[in-house]
Structure 1
Amino acid sequence: MTFVDRADELAALERSFESPGHGFAVVYGRRRVGKTALLKEFCTDHPHIYFLAAQEAEQRQREKFVEQVANHFDDRVPRIDGWDEAFEYLGERLATEPTVVVIDEFPYLVEENDSLPSYVQAFVDEQIQGTESMLVLCGSSISTMESEVLGHESPLYGRRTGQIDLQPFSFQQAREIIGYDIADAIRSYAITGGTPMYLTLFDYGQPLGENVRTQVLSPMAVLYNEPEFLLRTELRSPARYLSILEAIATGRTTPNEISGATGIDPGPLSKYLQTLRRLRFIEREVPVTATGKTSKRSRYHVADEFLRFWFRFVEPNRSSIEEAPELVFEGTIEPNLPDHVATTFESVCHEAVWEAIRRGRLDSYASVGRWWYGEDEIDIVGLAPDADRVLLAECKWTTEPVGHGLVESLSDKAARVRWGPDDRDEQFALFSKSGFVDGLEEELGDDWSLFDLAAIDDLLSGPS
C-alpha cells in the first residue's frame, strides 16, 4: 500500500532524530489509524531496530527483542535474564552507532510486566542520553499509553522529547485516497471515516453500494465486527458501552436522552461517557459561544464516521444482515443514507471554512463550531473577538438547490446568537450539495459567500 500524507508527523519525528542528543518519542492513537505505517516510513531512511510486541509470554518477548538487537549489530545473541539486562545490552550497542529503536505495541509488554516502564526509565536516564540514538514507544491501547507512559504517575513522565497523538485522516487528507467524484467521496467518507485501513479496503473502481455490501455487510468482512473488536481490546465488559454508542449514533445526544435510551442512570452514565471520551469513541460538544468546561448545553456525538455508520445501520440489524444483507441495504441503508451523510457534510464544510480562511476566501476567525440554543441551531458559527466579527453558515445535503428560504431563516437566527456588541460585523455563508437557485448569489450582498460542491472540491483538493 502506498504511504499517504503524514508529512507533519514525519517532519516531527525527523526533527527529534536530527536534534542534538538523544530522542525519546511516544506515538499513540486508536487501532488502524496508521501508526505502524508512519513509523516504518520514518525508519526507511535511518539505521533502525523495529520490534513489534505480541501477546505472548514475557520471556519469549524478551528473547525476541534481544535477538533483534543482536541481529542488527551482527552480534552473537547474548544470554539475558531480565529486561534490565536487555536494555543494558541495547545501550552498550547504541553507544557505537546512532540508531532508531522502535518498540511497537508497547502495552503488550506492560501487560506481562508492569515494571517495564521503570526499566525503560533507567535506560533513558542512564544509557541513551549519552548517544545520538532515538527510542520510540508506540501503542494502540490509549488507556495504557496515557497512564503507563505519559501519565503523571509513570516513571517515564517528563522524559519524552516528543509525542504524536495520531489522528484519523480529515476528509481533505482522505481525498487523496478516495477515488470517487466529490459527491460520492463525501458519501464514502461518511461510511469509512478517516481511518487509513478502512479507506483502503474500498475498491473505488466499484460503485459505493457494492463496497458497502462486500466490505461492511458481509459477515466475513473485516469491518463487519470491527467496532466490537475495538471495544473489547480496551474494555473487559463492553456491553453497556455498545448500547451507549448505539444510542448516540441514532440521535440521542444529550445525557438525559442517552440515559432514557439505555436505561443507565445518570450517575453511572457520566463515568461511561468519560471512558468513551478518553478512548476517542465519542466527543463532547458545546455551542461555540459557550465555555466548554462550564456549559450545561453539552451534546455527545460518535467521534468516527465509520463507528457512527456501524452503530446506526449494522448493529441494530445484525440478525437481518445475517439472513438477507441485500434487503438491509436496499430497505434500510440506501433510503436513510442521505440523512447520515448530511452530518458528515457539515464536518466537511467545517474543513472547507478553515481552508477558505487560510486562502483568504473568508475573513479570519479564532474559533469555528456549531451553535444551538433552545430550538434554534446553526451548522457553523465562526467567532473573531478581536474584530467583533461573526460568521454564520448553513450546510445543506439536499436534492434541491438552496433558495431564499434558507437565506431568510439564517438571517432570522443570526439575531438570536448572543455574542459580541450590537454593531458586530456579520458575515454569512451557505454550502449546498445541489447548488443554488438562479440569481441568488447576485441578489445577496458582499457579506454572503456561496459554496457548491465544485467550490468545496476546489478548496479541499487543490493546492493550499
Structure 2
Amino acid sequence: MMEVFMDKPSGMFDRDFEWAELSRFATYSAPEATLGVVSGRLRQGKTFLLDALTTATGGFMFTGTETTEADALRQFGDALAAYVGEPTPFRFVNWEEAIARLLRIATTGPTVAVIDEFPFLAKASPALPSIIQRALDPTAQRGNTPVRLLLCGSALSFMGRILSGNAPLRGRAGLELVVPTLDFRLAARFWELDDPRTAALTNAVVGGTPAYRREFAQGDTPAGADDFDSWIIRAVLNPGRPLFREGRYLLAEEPELHDTTLYHSVLAAIADGNHNRGGIASYLGRKSTDLAHPLAVLQDVGMITHEQDAFRRNRSAYRIAEPLLAFYHAVMRPAWGELERPGRAPNVWRRLQPTFRSKVVGPHFERICREWTRWYCEPGTLDGHPSTVAGGTVPDPANRTAHEIDVAAFGHDETGREQLLAIGECKWNDIMGLGHLQRLDRIRDLLRAREGVNAQSTRLLLFSGTGFSDDLCAVARRDPTVQLVDLSRLYTGA
C-alpha cells in the first residue's frame, strides 16, 4: 500500500522528520483503525504539530482537561457531535460507547482523530487504555472505520508506560513519536540569532523549547551580545512576563510530582553543583537513601538526566535537563523576593552574573560541547566516528588526585574494539593556552597506561567561549591531534 505524504505547513520550523511520520501515519490506506502515540516534554510544539495535521486532513482533535470522568465524557460528546455534524451533543454513558463512536467517524477514507492531553483523561478513567485496546482488537474491528487515532501527552513517565511491559496498548501502536527539544544549533536558527556567543548565552537560559520564543517572549529576542543583559532583564527577570514564573510552573504541571517543594530542593542542589546523590543529600540535610524516589521521578518526567561516568562505572552524575530550570534555581530562586518587586531586576542581575557564568553557562557550555562532538564535529576531527560522548573522572594515583574530563568520545576501530577517540576540556570565559593542553596530555598518558582503555590514537579537544593563545594556536596548526573549537566552529562548522 502506498502512503501519500503531505506538504509541511509553511509556518512550521524544522520538524521535517516528525511531520513525515505523522503524514505517513495519517494517510496509511489500510481499512482498519490504527493507533499512534505522540509524546515529549512540555512546550515542545506537540499540540501545534497535531493541530496542523488535523487541519490539513480534516481530522478531529479533542484536548483533555483535569476533570471528572463524567465531565470529560460530556466534553468529548459535545466535541465529537460538532465534528460529525450532529445537531445535538452525544451523551455517552461510558468510554466504551465514546471510543466505539469515535472509531466510526472515518466514512470517506482514513481520518485522523487526536486525543491530546491523554494522561488527564486516563487519570480520571484508569480503564481507558484497556478500553481503547479492546476497541482496536481485530475481533472488534467489524464496526470500525479507518480512523488514525493519535494519543498525545507531556507526562513522559505515563506516556512511556502505556506502550511498555504488560500495558494494554503494548504492541498496538503503528507510530511511537517523541517530539524532542531543539538542539543548540536549531535553537539558534529558531531564535534567529546569528552571533554564536549570544546564541550560546540564550540557549543556556531557555534551551530549545519553541514556546519560549513564540508564546512566552512574544518574539522578543536578544538583538546581539550588547543586548543580552537587557533582554534578560526585560524578558526573563521581569515579573510581568510569563518566563518569570515558568521555572515554578514546570513542576506544578507534572502530575507525577506531588511534593513540589522537595523536587525544587533537589533541583536547587543540582544547580548548585551537587551532581551525585551524596552531595545532593548533604545539601538538603537528608539521608542519601531518602532521595532514591524523588531522583527517579525527576528522571522519569524528563527534568533531570542520570549520566554514567565515562571512566568510572561506579560513578554517575545527575544534571538538570531543562536549562530554564537550572537558570531559575541558580539565579532566580535565591533572589525571588527581590525579583518580585518591579525595578529590582537590574541590580539582581548585576550581582548574580558571576553565579550565572559559573553555575549556568559553564555547565551548559560543556553540554553543548559534548553534543557537538557527538553529532556535529567535522570529518577528520576525530580518528573515527563517535558512538558515545560523556564526561568522566580519571584517577591520578601518583599525585593522589583525580582529573575531571568534560568531553570523552568513544568509538570503535575496524575490528569492533572500543577506542577512546578524544578527551576534551571546556572553558567558557577563559582564553585557553598551553597549560590546558599540557593538562589534557597528562591525562591522556594516564589513560594510555590504564588497562582496558584503548587510547593510543586519542585526540585532544579544547573548547573555548573566549579564544585561544597564540602559542596554542601554533601547536594546533602543526599537530592535527590537537583540535581547537571556538563558538564559531560549534555553531557553523560543517
Change (3 A) 1:427 1:419: farther
147, 159, 163: which one pairs with 1:145?
159
Residue 4 of structure 1 aligns with which residue?
A: 13
Q: Contact 1:47–1:98 at 8 Å: present in 2 too?
A: no
Letter in 2 for 1:273: L
Offset from partner CA, 1:165-184 (integer Å, 9 cap, x none): 32221101211122331101
280, 284, 290: which one pairs with 1:262?
284
Q: Contact 2:133–2:169 at 8 Å: present in 1 too?
A: yes
More displaced stretch, 17-26 vs 403-412: 17-26
Any idea what SS the aligned residue of 1:425 has? coil
Structure 2: runs of 5 or more not aligned:
1-9, 396-401
More displaced stretch, 256-265 vs 391-400: 391-400
Looking at structure 2, the residues matched to 302 and 382 of structure 1 have their Cα atoms a distance apart, in angstroms, of 21
Any idea what SS the aligned residue of 2:97 has? helix
Give TM-score scaled by structure 2 length.
Answer: 0.85
Residue 473 of structure 2 aligns with which residue?
A: 441
More displaced stretch, 202-211 vs 185-194: 202-211
Any idea what SS the aligned residue of 2:351 has? helix
Letter in 1 for 2:437: V
Residue 204 of structure 1 aligns with which residue?
A: 221
176, 183, 187: which one pairs with 1:174?
187
Residue 297 of structure 2 aligns with which residue?
A: 275
200, 205, 217: which one pairs with 1:186?
200
Structure 1: runs of 5 or more not aligned:
none
Residue 7 of structure 2 aligns with which residue?
A: none
Offset from partner CA, 1:430-451 (integer Å, 9 cap, x none): 2222222225334341212222
25, 45, 55: which one pairs with 1:16?
25
Q: Contact 1:106–1:138 at 8 Å: present in 2 too?
A: yes
Aligned 1:25-424 pairs, distance under 5 A:
25-77=36-88, 78-125=90-137, 126-127=140-141, 131-147=145-161, 149-180=162-193, 181-200=195-214, 201-202=216-217, 203-206=220-223, 207-233=227-253, 234=255, 235-290=257-312, 295-323=313-341, 324-332=344-352, 334-339=353-358, 340-357=360-377, 359-362=379-382, 363-374=384-395, 375-387=402-414, 388-400=419-431, 402-417=432-447, 418=450, 420=452, 424=456
Any idea what SS the aligned residue of 1:175 has? helix
Offset from partner CA, 1:301-322 (integer Å, 9 cap, x none): 1111111111111112112223
RMSD: 2.4
Letter in 2 for 1:240: L
Any idea what SS the aligned residue of 1:393 has? strand
Q: Contact 1:398–1:433 at 8 Å: present in 2 too?
A: yes
Q: Contact 2:373–2:409 at 8 Å: present in 1 too?
A: no
More displaced stretch, 124-133 vs 43-52: 124-133
443, 450, 457: which one pairs with 2:491?
457
Looking at structure 1, the residues matched to 93 and 322 of structure 2 have their Cα atoms a distance apart, in angstroms, of 44
Higher RCO by CA contacts (8 Å cutoff, separation 6 or greater): 1
Deviation at 1:26, TM superposition (A): 0.9
Looking at structure 2, the residues matched to 325 and 422 of structure 1 have their Cα atoms a distance apart, in angstroms, of 51
Looking at structure 1, the residues matched to 323 and 70 of structure 2 have their Cα atoms a distance apart, in angstroms, of 40
More displaced stretch, 100-109 vs 389-398: 389-398
Offset from partner CA, 1:125-166 (integer Å, 9 cap, x none): 22499643311001122233234x234343222211121232
Looking at structure 1, the residues matched to 94 and 183 of structure 2 have their Cα atoms a distance apart, in angstroms, of 43
> How many residue pairs are counted as aligned between the two chains?
453
Any idea what SS the aligned residue of 2:413 has? helix
Any idea what SS the aligned residue of 1:415 has? helix
Q: Contact 1:289–1:419 at 8 Å: present in 2 too?
A: no
More displaced stretch, 242-251 vs 356-365: 356-365
- Aligned residues: percent identity? 29
Give TM-score scaled by structure 1 length.
Answer: 0.90
Deviation at 1:348, TM superposition (A): 1.7
Letter in 1 for 2:270: I
Q: Contact 2:426–2:464 at 8 Å: present in 1 too?
A: yes
Offset from partner CA, 1:40-93 (integer Å, 9 cap, x none): 233343231011112234333323323333333333444432221122222222
Q: Contact 1:252–1:258 at 8 Å: present in 2 too?
A: yes
